[in-house]
A and B are shown apart, each in its own frame.
Chain A
C-alpha cells in the first residue's frame, strides 16, 4: 500500500474546517451587498492592500503550485524560469488597468469593452474564447484540487475535487466579489508565508550540489539551456500568460472594482510578489530524481516531493498553501465568469430591461450552474493539468493584440479584430496538435498580430472613444 504524507482523516479535517470558515466569512461579507454592482464589483471601492493581494493571490493558482513543478519536471530549468515570466502578465496589465478604469468608469466586463469597441462579430468570437478559457481553467483548478488531496492523503480524487468546488461556489454565492477579494487577501498571506517556509526547509534539507550531480548524470536534458522543447516553451508561456490576463474578466472586473488610481500600483505590486513563487515551487521538482521520486502523473510531482522531504508537518503546510492557492483562483474565476454571462449574455441579449435584483439573482444561479458544469467536466480526468491549460493558450493569446491596440489606438475595426482572434486561435490549435503545447500560444499571437497589423494599415475610420460610454446607460 502507498504511504501518504497525511492520513485521510487529517486532510478531511483541514479541508472541511477551511471550507466552513471561508463560507461563514463569505456569508458575513455578503451582508453588505445591496445591489448587483456591490455583488459583482464590490461597490467599485477596493483599496490598495486588498487590490494588490487579490492580484497576486489570484495569479497563484494550480499554474504556480502544481503546473510549475510539473513543467520543471518535464522541461527542466527553463520550465521553472519560463514560468516565472508569467509575472509579466500582471506587470504589463498595470497600465492597461488604469486605461480600462479611465475608458470604462461604469463598465462591468471585458466583454463590454470588446462589444462597444469592435461590434458584435468580434464580441461573439471573444465570448467563445472566454468561455473555452474559463472552463479550461475552472476544470484544471477542480482537477488540481482532487489531485492534490489524492497525492497528499490518498483521499479519493472525486471527493477532494467535489469539496473544493462546493466550498468556492458556497462563499462566492453568498459574498460575491467582496468575499472573493477578502478571502484572497488572507489566502495571499498564507501563500507567501507557506512558500517561504517550504523554500527554507528545502534548502536546509536537500543540498543544491547533490541535486545538480544527480540531474547531470541521469537527467542531463533538464539542465540543458538549449533543450529544444523548453526553448520553444519560453515565449509561448509568456504569451499564454499575457493572453490569460489581458482578455479575462477576472482581471478586468478587478480593475473596474478598484478605487481610482489604485489599479496601476496594485498590479505592479502583485506581479513583483508573484515573480519568485514559481521558482520556489519549480525547484521542488528538480529535487525529485535525487530523492528517488518519479510520479505516476507529472502534475503530482510538487506535492509528492514536498511531503516526502518535509514530513507530516511539511505536508500540512504544503496542503494549506496549495489549497489556498486553488481556492483564491477558483473563486475569482467563478465570480468573473458568472459576471460575464450575466452582463454580456443575459443582460445584453436575453433580458435588456432586467432590474438590479434580477441581475443579482441570475448571477447567483449562474454561479451555481458554472460550479455544477465544472464538477461534471472534472469527473473524467481528461488530460494532465499542463496539457489542459496550454490547450487554452491557443485561444487566449489571439486576444492580446486586439485588446492592446483597441485600448490605445483608434485605427483597428471590428472585422479585423474578430478575424485576428478567430484565425489566431485556429492557427494556435493547429500548432498545438502538429508541433506541441509549447508553441500554441506563440503561433496564435503571431497570426493574430499580423491580421491586426493589416487591419491598422488598411483601415480609414478612426474610432471615437465616446462610443465606449454606452455602458453607462
Chain B
C-alpha cells in the first residue's frame, strides 16, 4: 500500500494524506506519525475514518514528520512518507493583523460618521 502527502512545505499545520489500493482486510487502518524516520517516538496514532482513502491531519507545529500506515500493529505501507511543516513567520501574521485592525477601524469610523450625518440630515 502506498501513501502520498503534500509535495511542498505545509504552511498552516494541516494537510491531507492519501492512500491507494487499501484491501478490505487492512481495515481498520491507522496512521502513525513520528518525528524520526525510525519511528522511535510516535507523536500520534490516527484511526482512518470508515473506508475513505484519505485523511486530514491537523494541529502540527513547525518540524519534519514521518507517516506510515499500520493494521493490527503491523506496518502495511510500502514506505513512510515525510511531511515538512513550516508556519508563516509570526511577524508576517502580526503585520497583516495590524493592517486588518487599522482598516477595520477606518471602516467603522467612516460608517458611523456617515450614519450620524444621515440621521442629522433627516
Contacts and interface: CB of A to CB of B under 8 A. Distances in A.
A158 interface: no
Contact of A227 (B13, B56, B114, B118): B13
B96 A235 contact: yes
A224 B108 CA distance: 28
Contact of A74 (B14, B55, B93): B14
Contacts of A298: 14, 56, 58
Interface majority SS (helix, strand, loop, mixed), chain A: helix
Contacts of A232: 88, 92-93, 96-97
A395 B41 CA distance: 46
Contact of B97 (A96, A215, A234, A295): A234
B110 interface: yes
Given A2-B50, A95-B115, A436 B103 contact: no
Nearest to A285: B58
Contacts of B96: 231-232, 235, 439, 442
Contact of A228 (B46, B51, B93): B93
A221 B65 CA distance: 15
Contacts of B59: 76, 215, 218-222, 289
Contacts of A231: 90, 93-94, 96-97
Contacts of B13: 74, 221-222, 227, 229
B48 interface: yes
Contact of A238 (B54, B58, B100, B122): B100
Interface stretch (A118-126, A200-208, A399-407): A399-407
B100 A229 contact: no
B71 to A, nearest CB: 16
B38 interface: no
A221 B62 CA distance: 9
A73 B103 CA distance: 28
Interface of B: 11-14, 16, 43-44, 46-61, 87-90, 92-94, 96-97, 99-101, 103-104, 106-108, 110-111, 113-115, 117-118, 122
Interface in A267-307: 289, 292-298, 301, 304
A406 to B, nearest CB: 10
Interface string A100-112: 0010000000000
A409 interface: yes
A81 to B, nearest CB: 13
B28 to A, nearest CB: 10
Contacts of B108: 92
A227 B90 CA distance: 8
A102 B117 CA distance: 14
Nearest to B106: A449
Given A239-B100, A292-B47, A449-B103, A229 B111 contact: no
A28 interface: no
A428 B83 CA distance: 28
Contacts of A407: 114
Contact of B93 (A92, A220, A226, A289): A226
B97 to A, nearest CB: 5
Given A221-B61, A228-B87, A229-B93, 9 more contacts: A2-B51, A96-B111, A220-B59, A221-B59, A221-B87, A294-B57, A296-B50, A298-B56, A446-B103
Interface in A225-278: 226-229, 231-232, 234-236, 238-239, 242
A408 interface: yes
A442 B12 contact: no
A226 B51 CA distance: 36
B111 A95 contact: yes
Interface in A414-465: 436, 438-439, 442, 445-446, 449
A349 interface: no
A327 interface: no
A308 to B, nearest CB: 10
24 contacts: A1-B50, A73-B56, A74-B14, A92-B111, A102-B122, A218-B44, A219-B58, A226-B90, A227-B87, A228-B88, A228-B90, A229-B93, A232-B88, A235-B99, A289-B58, A294-B57, A296-B53, A404-B107, A405-B114, A438-B12, A442-B100, A446-B103, A449-B103, A449-B106
